[in-house]
Structure 1
Amino acid sequence: MEGAPVTAATGALGPVVAKLGALLGRQYKLGRRTRKDLRFIKSKLKSVHSILWAIWGKEILDAESKDLKKEALDLADDVHDAIDDFILTLEGSRRSKRLMVQTKIKASPFQDFRARVDEVSVRCRNKWKWDKNKRCV
């Protein structure tokens, strides 16, 4: 499920985006709210991953940039842990050996991450603008 390496540039963001994609695949039967939260988190973290990858080449980052990068990487670690915990709560389907089912569908376990992911994504986009050649400036 990993798919992407952990790098100095982006930390665990690559593997987290890959895990989110895997959770949205056919192997898992999730509640509608959980799927919606996972799609939202994946799209936001994917853009943060791209931004961090683009700024990696910059030699000098100011203190605010370093703090924002650290916050994004800490968020990725928290989401990674939440995904692992969530996977442990899934149960095998009675109909298919390969299908994992979310049984307790009262609320999405990822709902708390939506606001945090959105805030970090917006701050990253505002901090590092893109020019018309799709380069981070």
Structure 2
Amino acid sequence: METRGQFAPETERAAREQYAALAGPAKTVTKEIAEAGTTDRDAYRALTNEDVYETAQQALFASLLAVQVGSTEEYEDWLAAREDLEVVFAGTETVPRRAWHPVWPRAAVVAVSFQDKPDAAVASLRRQAFGRFYRDLVVE
């Protein structure tokens, strides 16, 4: 089993603080990309507004979520010790590998099955976790 990513906030406050801490980096990255990718002032302005900054902040937050990657057995062992969590599972039970992220502030775990593409599974899982549980928690 391996962990990919940096954080799994344990409280709503921790999630909000981690999200807020990404506002500056999201703005900086967005401006640098806009500057490198455009020569037109109007195009630059279109890429550097609050909606774009917020989208970048959301993507950064989701991309940094800690995701466990392992076998179905490892996932089931992990889950057995945490029976109080709501399970949100996407995929097919018979597929041999799992990726999962505990959403502690919501007493939930988001999990997906995958065969042989862990990067895709992790990316999908992070989008699901953010969209389903974190967005309404961290976006004002």
The two structures have a TM-score, normalised by structure 1, of 0.30
Structure with greater proportional strand content: 2
State the structure with more CA Rg.
2
The two structures have a TM-score, normalised by structure 2, of 0.29
Structure with more relative contact order (C-alpha pairs < 8 Å, separation 6 or more) = 1
